[in-house]
Amino acid sequence: MTAGEASTTADASTMADTPSPKPVSVLFVCLGNIGRSTMAEGVFQSLTQPPAGPSHPLISHIDSCGTGAYHVGDGPDSRTMSTLKDHGITTYRHRARKFHTKDFSEFDYILAMDDDNLEDLLALRAREVKRRKADEGVGTVMLFGAFGGKTRKGGRGEEVQDPYYGGRDGFETAYEQSVRFSRAFVEGLEKGEL
């Protein structure tokens, strides 16, 4: 037996004694659910549930939605889809929907794209906790940019700016951020930090 084999055996026996963490569900939220949140969902899906490979064992369900109902039923912005396609993500499909309070029960992590989305979601969460008279079972709301983002003044993470009214470069920036934040989020799960 080589040193590498001994190490693998020891790692496997240690892992058998450690309870497996429960897989989590993740919801990405922006304003209209056709740009940033769909970009994040598409990227996160490609990293954790690739069509040609096994799904990540710590991720159970992924979705996205908007705080507004402006685009309900619409597909993602064509610039979102072309950016994803340019990076090899060709199987992503979605129809826009509005956030609903049941999402607090269905998702473990609800990740906002910017401060406005975050504040809206935190207010909705506070009402839901008050209505239930309990915090347990209500999804955790966070800024997506808290994972792998640059810390801004006041300690908050990086925002994913809305590229809707700009050019294609804004969608490329949202893609880059989504990759960086998604990898950092998964790393946090794997390390047991979340």
Calculate helix-pair angle for 168-190, 78-86, nearest 10 degrees. Answer: 60
* C-alpha span between 138 and 147 (Å, rounded): 20
The answer on pLDDT for 192 being more than 80 is yes
Q: What is the pLDDT of residue 17?
A: 52
Q: Give the chain's domain count.
A: 1
**CATH label of the domain that carries residue 170:** 3.40.50.2300
Read off the pLDDT of residues 22-79 as tens digits, 9 standing for 90 and up: 999 999 999 999 999 999 999 999 999 998 889 999 999 999 999 999 999 999 999 9
The closest alpha carbon to 160, from 168, 170, 152, belongs to 170
The answer on pLDDT for 156 being more than 90 is no
pTM for the model stands at 0.89
Are 29 and 117 contacting, i.e. CB atoms less than 8 angstroms apart?
A: yes
Q: Which residues are catalytic?
A: 30, 36, 162
Are 66 and 31 contacting, i.e. CB atoms less than 8 angstroms apart?
A: yes
Q: Is there a domain that residue 110 lies in? A: yes
Q: Element (H or E) spanning 142, and its range?
A: strand 140-143
Domain of residue 94, residue span: 26-190
